[in-house]
Amino acid sequence: MQKSLFLGDEALAQGALDAGISGVYAYPGTPSTEITEYIQGSKQAAEGKVHSQWCVNEKTAMEAALGMSYSGKRALVCMKHVGLNVAADPFMNSSIVGANGGIVVVSADDPSMHSSQNEQDSRVYGKFALIPTFEPSNQQECYDMVQYAFDYSEKFRVPVLMRMTTRLAHSRSGVVCKEPKPQNEISVPENLRQFVLLPAISKRNYKTLLGKQEEFIQHGENDGWNVLTEGTDKKYGIIASGIAYNYLMENYPNRDIPYSVLKISQYPLPVNMIIKLAQECEELIVMEEGYPFIEEQIKGIVPTNLVVHGRLDGTLPRDGELNPNLVGLAINKEQNSYYTVPEVVKARPPKLCDGCPHISSYNALNEALKDYTPGRVFGDIGCYTLGALPPYQSINTTVDMGASITMAKGAADSGLIPAVAVIGDSTFTHSGMTGLLDAVIANSPITVMILDNSTTAMTGGQDSAAYTRIESICKGIGVSEEHIKVINPLPKEHENNVNIIKAELEYQGVSVIIPRRECLQTLAKKRKK
C-alpha cells in the first residue's frame, strides 16, 4: 500500500478515522492541536459526518466523548498534558464507569516546555486512573496503535490513554495505512446502570476494574507493543519507552546494538519482561521522556542490589527532552556534533505581532495604572501572556487557564485594590466564567479585561467559543450592564481607552472591559481565501 508522509499527530488522526470514530472532542493545545485540525480538514471525516467541532474546554470534551461512548460509538479525545488536569474529574471517573463504544484519550506532553507551563507526564494519570496506557515510538505506531487502542477499549470496556510527546507529534515519517473500518451502530450499554456512579454501583465497578489489572499486565507481555530483544553484551540492559527508543536506535542505524533492550510502549509495565532483563544484565539503564516513571516503578521489581541508571542518578538529565546524543552518551557511545549555531545568530524571544491589538490594550492599561503601586495585574494563558515581557511588563502572574479572574478576586479579598484580571476571549469561556461568577456573588472590586481578538490565536487561530457572546455571558452571570465596556484597542483611541479603564478601576464592584479587534493573523488568513 502507498505510504503517506504524516506528522505524528496526523498519523494518529488518520488511524482514528480508519478505526471508525464518530467524533473527536478537543480543545486546542500544542502539541496536540494538529490531530483535530487534520480530522476537520479530512474528506473522509466529512463524508462520514465525523463530529469535529472544538469544545469549550477539555472537561467538556471528555464528557462529550463519554456520551458518544455510551451510545456505542467510538470517540477520540485530544488535549495537551495540562489540559488533562482540566479533564481530570471525568477522566478519573471514566475508569470506573468504563466504556461502551471505544474511547481513546490522547494527551500530548511537552518536555522542555516549548509552549507550556510545566513538564508533567501523562503516564502518571494512566496509572492513577488504573487504565491501560499506550506510548508510540514512531509515526507508524501512532497510526497502528490508536486502532489497536480502540479495539482494546471495547474488549475490556475501559477508556484507554495514549501519550504523545512534542517531537513525535511534530515530526514526519512515512506511514502505511489500512482499509478503514465502518463506524459502530448506536447501541446503549446492556447494563443501563453502568454509567451511574452511585456508591453501590461505583464499589462494584471499582472491584471489576481492579480485577482487570492482571489481564492488562498480561496483554502488555503478549500483545507485541512491548518487545524484549536480547543482546550479546550483558553489561547493560536497556529499557527505552516511546520516542526514547527511537533515539536509542538512531545511535545504531544498522540495528547492531550489543545490549539487551526492552522497548516499552504499553502500560501497566510488563513485569515478567523486566525481571527477565534484570536477571541477564549487570546494570539497567532506563531511557524515557518526562518523569522517571518507569525508573521509579522498576525498583520494586528488580533485585535491590541491581544498579539502575536513568534520570534519577543523572545518567540522563532530570528535566527537558531527550535526544539521540544524550541517549548515546548514557551508554558511553562517542557522539559527533555535526551542527553548530553560528555566533551571528542571536536568541530572539517571543513577542506580540506587529500591530497586535493587545499592544494598544497593554499601553492603555499601563498608563491607567501608573498612579497606583505596581503588582496589581493578574494574567492568563494565551498570546497576551507575552505582555509579561518587555517592553510592556503589564501582567504579574500567569498560573493556569482562568486563574486571572479568581486570583484578582483573592487579591481584592486581601485588600489589594484595585486588582485587574487580563484574560483572552477563548480562555474566558474555557475557564474564566466560573471565576467571574464568584466575583459577582462577592461583589469584588476587580476590573476584568477580556482581550477579544475573535479567535484562539495562540494555537493557530481556531474558532473561539466566545465569539459574539462575551457581553451576553457577562450580563447573564450578573455583571452590571453599566460596567461592561467595549473599547477599540487602536493607538488613535488611546486617550479614550485610558479614561475608561481609569473610571472602572475606581468602581467598587465587578467591571468588565472588552478591548475588541480581530487578530491580524486570522484576518490575513481570511483575506487569502
The DSSP annotation for 395-425 comes to --B--STTHHHHHHHHHHHHT--SEEEEEEH
pLDDT tens profile 124-147 = 999 999 999 999 999 999 999 999
Residue 338 has pLDDT above 60, yes or no: no
**pLDDT value for 473:** 97
CA distance 450 to 445: 16
Say if residues 70 and 189 touch (Cβ distance below 8 Å).
yes
| CATH code assigned at 250 | 3.40.50.920
Say if residues 168 and 139 touch (Cβ distance below 8 Å).
yes
Specify whether 255 is located in the same domain as 164. no
DSSP state string for 174-219: EEE--PPPPPPPP---SSTTTT---HHHHHHHHHHHHHHHHHHHHH
Specify whether 454 is located in the same domain as 309. no
| CATH code assigned at 165 | 3.40.50.970
Decide the pairing of beta strands 266-267 and 133-134.
antiparallel
What's the chain's length in residues? 529
Q: Span 219-233, mean pLDDT? A: 96
Residue 351 inside a domain? The answer is no
Specify whether 371 is located in the same domain as 519. yes
**pLDDT value for 176:** 97
Specify whether 7 is located in the same domain as 84. yes
Q: Does an H or E element contain 141, and which?
A: helix 139-156
Phi, psi of 287, deg, nearest 5: -120, 115
**pLDDT value for 339:** 61
Structural domain span for residue 461: 357-527
Residue 134: strand pairing partners: 162, 266
Residue 156 inside a domain? The answer is yes
Residue 344 inside a domain? The answer is no
Specify whether 216 is located in the same domain as 267. no
| Number of structural domains the chain divides into | 3
Question: What's this model's pTM, rounded to 2 decimal places?
Answer: 0.92
Tell me whether the omega of the peptide bond preceding residue 189 falls within 30 degrees of 0, making it cis: no
**pLDDT value for 341:** 74
Say if residues 398 and 423 touch (Cβ distance below 8 Å).
no
**pLDDT value for 371:** 94
* The last residue of a domain, from among 330, 348, 367: 330
Give the residue with greater pLDDT, 175 vs 523.
Answer: 175
Q: Sorting pLDDT into bands at 50, 70 and 90, what band is 359?
A: very high
Phi, psi of 261, deg, nearest 5: -130, 130
Specify whether 95 is located in the same domain as 212. yes
Residue 527 has pLDDT above 80, yes or no: no
- CA dist 234 to 52, 257, 324, 327, 476, Å? 50, 12, 22, 18, 68
Cβ neighbors of 340 (< 8 A, separation 6 or more) are none
CA 190 to chain centre: 33
Specify whether 87 is located in the same domain as 181. yes
CA distance 157 to 207: 14
CA distance 239 to 243: 12
Half-sphere CA count of 342, side-chain side, radius 13 A: 2
Neighbours of 481 (CB within 10 A): 8
Residue 31 has pLDDT above 60, yes or no: yes
Residue 432 inside a domain? The answer is yes
Residue 339 inside a domain? The answer is no
CA distance 13 to 54: 15
Residue 343 inside a domain? The answer is no
Specify whether 261 is located in the same domain as 403. no
Phi, psi of 112, deg, nearest 5: 80, 0
Crossing angle between the packed helical segments 403-414 and 433-442, to the nearest 10 degrees: 20
Residue 325 has pLDDT above 80, yes or no: yes
Say if residues 260 and 228 touch (Cβ distance below 8 Å).
yes
Cβ neighbors of 91 (< 8 A, separation 6 or more) are 62, 84, 105, 125, 129, 159
**pLDDT value for 529:** 65
Decide the pairing of beta strands 3-7 and 172-176.
antiparallel
Specify whether 392 is located in the same domain as 314. no
CA dihedral 104, 17, 78, 142 (to 10 degrees): 80
- CA dist 261 to 84, 245, 287, 320, Å? 31, 9, 11, 23
Residue 421: strand pairing partners: 378, 448
Q: Span 399-425, mean pLDDT? A: 96
Average pLDDT over all residues of the chain: 95
Q: Sorting pLDDT into bands at 50, 70 and 90, what band is 1?
A: low
pLDDT tens profile 382-403 = 999 999 999 999 999 999 999 9
DSSP state string for 323-353: -HHHHHHHTT----------TT-------PP
pLDDT tens profile 262-285 = 999 999 999 999 999 999 999 999
Residue 33 has pLDDT above 80, yes or no: yes
CA 493 to chain centre: 38
Percent of the chain with pLDDT over 90: 88
Residue 349 inside a domain? The answer is no
Specify whether 56 is located in the same domain as 107. yes
Residue 518 inside a domain? The answer is yes
Say if residues 519 and 461 touch (Cβ distance below 8 Å).
yes
Q: Does an H or E element contain 168, and which?
A: helix 166-169
Nearest to 365 by CA among 515, 175, 199: 515
Phi, psi of 294, deg, nearest 5: -70, -45
Cβ neighbors of 303 (< 8 A, separation 6 or more) are 278
Residue 485: strand pairing partners: 513
Nine-digit cell string for 68: 458518544
DSSP 322: -
Residue 427 has pLDDT above 80, yes or no: yes
Specify whether 438 is located in the same domain as 386. yes
Specify whether 80 is located in the same domain as 165. yes
Amino acid, res. 357: P
Say if residues 276 and 202 touch (Cβ distance below 8 Å).
no
**pLDDT value for 524:** 78
Say if residues 436 and 448 touch (Cβ distance below 8 Å).
yes
